[in-house]
Amino acid sequence: MPRPGKKAEPIQARAQATRELLLETTADLLGEIGVERLSSNLICARAGLTPPAFYRYFKDKYAALAELGEGLMEAQNAAMAPLLAAGAASEADVKALILETIAVTKAFPGGPWVLRVLRAVPALQHIRLQSHQRVAEAITAAAMPARPSRAARARVALQARLLVDMGYAAIELAFDAPELDKGALAGAAARGLSGLMSELMRA
């Protein structure tokens, strides 16, 4: 089921291609002109489409940005899955995860700019926050078999959410301060995060 206000995704290949073109164009323009100047008319002009084509799939520019944001969060979070499945997190594992997530973000259409928009635009912040909460809940679920009490669960949930937000802060810093060495940044973050994550995942 689509979220409230979200239009149903197209089924036909041609319609899907049009929708993807609009999303890719939105991402390109976002990086070029920023979210304030971005508009549905500019997106259509760049894509070579008419405004009705845009509104067939998106309510406004924020709906298109929301689609990009959700896609980016899904791509980032997918990198976490193998680490959760392994049930362990060495410093090297965490460093590799941070670097992989940076690479995933860089490769995603408009990724660094979409990341900034999810943090800066109030109408889109819930996408980022809800995504972080889902990852924290997955970490909590993986850690809970050894900690069945309600008080323990609340403590683990808090630690998991802190772990997730600290990790993503390092990823965002890689794009906010591109002059920083990515390997050094990931290594420094991993030293602080790996101990907490190992404690949470330890049986």
CATH fourth-level superfamily of 13-58: Homeodomain-like (1.10.10.60)
The 3 state secondary structure assigned to 52-120 is HHHHCCCCCHHHHHHHHHHHHHHHHHHCCHHHHHHCCCCHHHHHHHHHHHHHHHHHCCCHHHHHHHHHH
The arithmetic mean of pLDDT across residues 61-68, rounded, is: 97
The arithmetic mean of pLDDT across residues 79-104, rounded, is: 83
Lowest mean pLDDT segment, chosen from 4-18, 21-35, 85-99, 166-180: 4-18
Query: Above 80 in pLDDT, residue 104?
Result: yes
Lowest mean pLDDT segment, chosen from 1-10, 155-164, 182-191: 1-10
- Tens digits of residue pLDDT in 118-147: 999 999 999 999 999 999 988 888 777 655
Given this chain, do its domains 13-58 and 69-201 carry the same CATH topology?
no
How do the domains of the chain map onto residue ranges?
Answer: 13-58, 69-201
Q: What pLDDT is attached to residue 149?
A: 76
Q: Is residue 163 within 8 Å of residue 155, measured between CB atoms?
A: no
* Mean residue pLDDT across the chain: 88
- Tens digits of residue pLDDT in 17-35: 999 999 999 999 999 999 9
Q: Which fold has domain 69-201?
A: Tetracycline Repressor; domain 2 (1.10.357)
